[in-house]
Amino acid sequence: MPELPEVETTRRKIEPLLRGRVIANVEHDAPHKYRDTHLAVGRRVQGLSRRGKYLMLQLAAADATEADPHDLEFIVHLGMTGGFRLEPGAHTRVTLTTEDGEQLFFNDPRRFGKMAVVRPGEYAGMPTLAAMGPEPLSDDFTEADFVKLAREAGAVKPWLLSQKPVSGVGNIYADESLWQAQIHPAQTRLTSAEGKKLYTAIREVMAKAVEAGGSSLGNGVGNYRQHDGVSGLFQLEHHVYGKGGQPCPRCGTDIAKIVLAQRGTHFCPKCQTLKERSTGLSVKGFKG
């Protein structure tokens, strides 16, 4: 957390607050985490985009129009608990102030969020962003390419979490997509039929999650909320994530929870059976 749906919701919500405005100040006390943010001062925000789980503010000279090319990008990774707020709080780490006095506060209880102002395309120190796969809701994410890659993949959930086959899919949406496609999270070397089902599931799950404003889990200080404190609603549609021990909504079997690639993983042992395939990889302990 946050994953693509939460970051996309954040982008849509804060874009009207920043687009067209000149940044007057970026205040924080951690230059090693928020790198070269002084370069944003005096530049106009031409727009906000998103790549996977990264927010990207396009910056140009203060007198530039939207038609002018931007010369810098202000990249934000929310980390596990980061998010923007309209009011400062106990966990405010960064304060953005625009030339007309408006302020936006970056709240991050666990301090895993990062920011950097860079030249467009210069993503040194951000290897995930540099090597990220296509956006799941874009035309670049094609069934044929995904199926081809999936045929040679190792354990499918860690493969998805790598961001290389498709961007923005994290723990929650990997579990939900695999449940919808009825594929075990440790399955390797997907068949063409399995790859097609998973491709469709990823697109459907992500589209629904974005429409619902993402997932807000629990009531803790670090849980995802929109900039105005409003919760996402997709957690109400989760079928397996966080449902360990509860009945599968499809077959009634208790949802299992395992640790796969150091991540808590939820699946239905009956709907998502593990199929033995000759890969040279051990899948012992993951049978459902």
Residues known to be catalytic: 2-3, 53, 263
Nearest by Cα to 238 from 268, 259, 261:
268
Q: Decide if 212 contacts 173 (C-beta within 8 A).
A: no
**What distance in Å separates the CA atoms of residue 156 and residue 283, rounded to the nearest whole number?**
12
Cα–chain-centroid distance for residue 133? 13
Torsion of CA 183, 233, 219, 162, to 10 degrees: 40
The enclosing H or E element of 256 equals strand 256-260
Q: Which element (helix H / strand E) includes 267?
A: strand 263-267
The three-class DSSP label of residue 38 is helix
Question: What is the rounded CA–CA span in Å between residue 115 and residue 39?
Answer: 12
Nearest to 205 by CA among 230, 241, 231, 155: 241
- β-strand 114-118 against 34-35: which pairing, if any? parallel
